[in-house]
Structure 1
Amino acid sequence: MGQLESVAFDNHEEEETTVLNGDRSLHGVASAIREGRVRKICVLTGAGISCNAGIPDFRSPVTGIYNNLEEYHLPTPESMFELAFFRENPAVFYRFMSILPGEYKPTYAHYFLKLLQEKGILLRVYSQNIDGLEKAAGLGDSFLVESHGSFATASCIECGEKYPITQLKCDVEEQRIPHCKCGHLVKPDIVFYGESLPLKYTWMHTADMVSCDMLLILGTSLSVQPFSTLIHQVRENVPRVLINNEAVGPFRFCNLSCCFRDVMIEGDCDEGVKSLCKELGWEEELESLYRKDHPLPEVGDPSALLEEDDPSALLEEDGDVRRRK
């Protein structure tokens, strides 16, 4: 018995020093990528990567979506995205949809995913987001699993017939509840509570988690199942790296020796990926991708006086921080 315990302990010590060469830091993560020790990266993304695009997350205390639904008098905030509630109260959901702002642009974090694809080291991105910004950044469909669906398409909740998204937008603008030709309700193809995840997720996630040699987690609370269980499906010697405003899930215990494969990079997702790219020498490439959709103001343009990342260029409006136009 004692001999078995000794072997197990020795293996644990060996793994602790070989994963990221024992360097559980931003530098250690960058070194593993730069030196070619990492070639198949899987990325899990949440609402935190879209916050800098102006899209609120769900759970932030003041600006989160769940904290701004009082006017709808819901049984619980989550009811807005429950299939049973939608069947009985579709007007509530579509009234909520009508106040959502329109066009958004990808953030640095989205373009970082595109950069991983271009470098040939991205295996897959599993996104909880429904905003479509990964595709807007140029991420190929074969590299993306929209685990909670997307607002880009819509279907009948009974027969599954596709509904033109342009017509859905028109219905929302004119405060009509969209119905299929069969007479039943239509909704965007986002996953509500009570619905199964997309088949693409079901088919691919097990093999991808076993195959990847690094797991990056960006901007998620890891609180929604079954998505949150993905981090437990990678092999034991695969480094797991969280870039987030706070430690969540197993990353709350990063200081323990048993968490030898976990790296916590605390802070804003955009700043986190920019720091990682700086370590990798990819800073200019990331900036080049970002500037395709976010060009710098021309010389002499009055808007150039407002630097894009200058906090003074932000105004408080209706409880949200919005960029001055």
Structure 2
Amino acid sequence: MRPIDELTAEIAAARAVLGPAERIVVLTGAGISTDSGIPDFRGPEGLWTKNPEAEKTATLSSYVSDPELRKRNWQRLAEGSMWEGKEPNPGHRALVELERQGKLHTLITQNVDSLHRAAGTSEERLVEIHGTTSKFRCLDCGDTAPMEFALERVRAGEADPPCRICGGILKSATISFGQNLVMADLHRSEQAAMACDVLLAVGSTLTVYPIANVVPIAHQAGAQIVIVNAEPTPFDGLAAAVVPASISDALPLIVAR
């Protein structure tokens, strides 16, 4: 990552691509939320680096087979969400501005923190490809509801609250390791990539599949690629512009009219 004042040419190149665009698809990863105080997962200060059990909790087979693991996880959630007090940053708000300009076709996020929703991105424009921690879902019948409903039950004494409809196991409405993506969301994302004139990848390593495929899909369909990320990605060679800067600093400059 380089200081923003050293990236005048890169910012200008990104603006030149986005300026005339009419159908922009955005893919965001963990990097857009780090300035909101949300750590990544595998970095030196990452959630899973500091708490290996959190990674185990995110593995479906472990979560389903270990009631004690589920109880500890519910207790952590009930004591305070990992996103509690976290607010959208200028990067999230810049993408809301892109929507206000009438340019945003679809925003695909790999994040589960719901900060795009909090910033004001419209429901109809948003694909939370890895789900969200703001809801829970029954693994058996699929019933879903706001997470707070389940947390109220935990605080009232239910250590591992079962589904009230079928008695099944509840978990946050996120996609865990070993769990399939929602195919309708993946299909929508791929269709958006084929329809856009620019794909803007923000804060993603672009190494998590299958969603990283939207970048080559868009490129093959004739879209230009812009990448804003602190570190290099495997698709930098496809990009018309690469901006290795702080997202909170760079993205408002890139989308501003």
The two structures share one fold, judged by TM-score above 0.5:
yes
* C-alpha separation in 1, matches of 2:190 and 2:197: 14
Distance 1:245 1:174, change over 3 A: farther
Alignment of 1:284-295 (within 5 A): none
Structure 2 residue 251 is the aligned partner of structure 1 residue 273: yes
Structure 2 residue 18 is the aligned partner of structure 1 residue 25: no
* C-alpha separation in 1, matches of 2:194 and 2:133: 30
Equivalent residue for 2:35? Answer: 52
Deviation at 1:222, TM superposition (A): 1.6
Letter in 1 for 2:40: D
Structure 2 residue 199 is the aligned partner of structure 1 residue 221: no
* C-alpha separation in 2, matches of 1:177 and 1:149: 21
* C-alpha separation in 1, matches of 2:30 and 2:108: 12
What's the CA shift string for 1:73-94, capped at 9, x where partnerless? xxxx643211111012222433
Q: Which secondary structure does the structure 2 equivalent of 1:249 belong to?
A: coil
Letter in 2 for 1:208: A
* C-alpha separation in 2, matches of 1:272 and 1:164: 34
Q: Which secondary structure does the structure 2 equivalent of 1:150 belong to?
A: strand
Structure 2 residue 30 is the aligned partner of structure 1 residue 80: no
Which of 135, 153, 156 pairs up with 1:153?
Answer: 135
* C-alpha separation in 2, matches of 1:247 and 1:272: 16
Alignment size in residue pairs:
241
Deviation at 1:274, TM superposition (A): 2.7
Letter in 1 for 2:10: S
* C-alpha separation in 1, matches of 2:155 and 2:83: 12
* C-alpha separation in 2, matches of 1:230 and 1:200: 15
Q: Which secondary structure does the structure 2 equivalent of 1:223 belong to?
A: coil
Letter in 1 for 2:73: F
Q: Which secondary structure does the structure 2 equivalent of 1:105 belong to?
A: coil
CA contact (8 A) 1:156 1:163 kept: no
Question: Larger relative contact order (C-alpha < 8 A, sep ≥ 6)?
Answer: 2
CA contact (8 A) 1:106 1:137 kept: yes
Q: Which secondary structure does the structure 2 equivalent of 1:43 belong to?
A: strand
Equivalent residue for 2:87? Answer: 105
Deviation at 1:143, TM superposition (A): 0.5
Equivalent residue for 2:102? Answer: 120
Letter in 2 for 1:217: A
Identity %: 25
Distance 1:101 1:230, change over 3 A: closer
Higher-Rg structure is: 1
Which of 181, 184, 201 pairs up with 2:185?
Answer: 201
CA contact (8 A) 1:42 1:123 kept: yes
Which of 108, 116, 134 pairs up with 1:134?
Answer: 116
Deviation at 1:59, TM superposition (A): 2.0
Larger displacement relative to structure 2 (164-173 or 215-224): 164-173
CA contact (8 A) 2:98 2:104 kept: yes
Equivalent residue for 1:9? Answer: none
Distance 1:78 1:232, change over 3 A: farther
CA contact (8 A) 2:18 2:198 kept: no
CA contact (8 A) 1:110 1:134 kept: yes
Distance 1:241 1:127, change over 3 A: same
* C-alpha separation in 1, matches of 2:154 and 2:37: 21
Q: Which secondary structure does the structure 2 equivalent of 1:242 belong to?
A: strand
Structure 2, unaligned runs of 5 or more: 1-8
- Computed over aligned residues only, the root mean square deviation of the Cα atoms, in angstroms, reads 2.1
Letter in 1 for 2:63: F
Letter in 2 for 1:192: S
Letter in 2 for 1:223: T
Equivalent residue for 1:165? Answer: 147
Structure 2 residue 231 is the aligned partner of structure 1 residue 246: yes
Distance 1:162 1:229, change over 3 A: same
Letter in 2 for 1:126: I
Larger displacement relative to structure 2 (157-166 or 112-121): 157-166
Q: Which secondary structure does the structure 2 equivalent of 1:241 belong to?
A: strand
* C-alpha separation in 2, matches of 1:141 and 1:101: 20
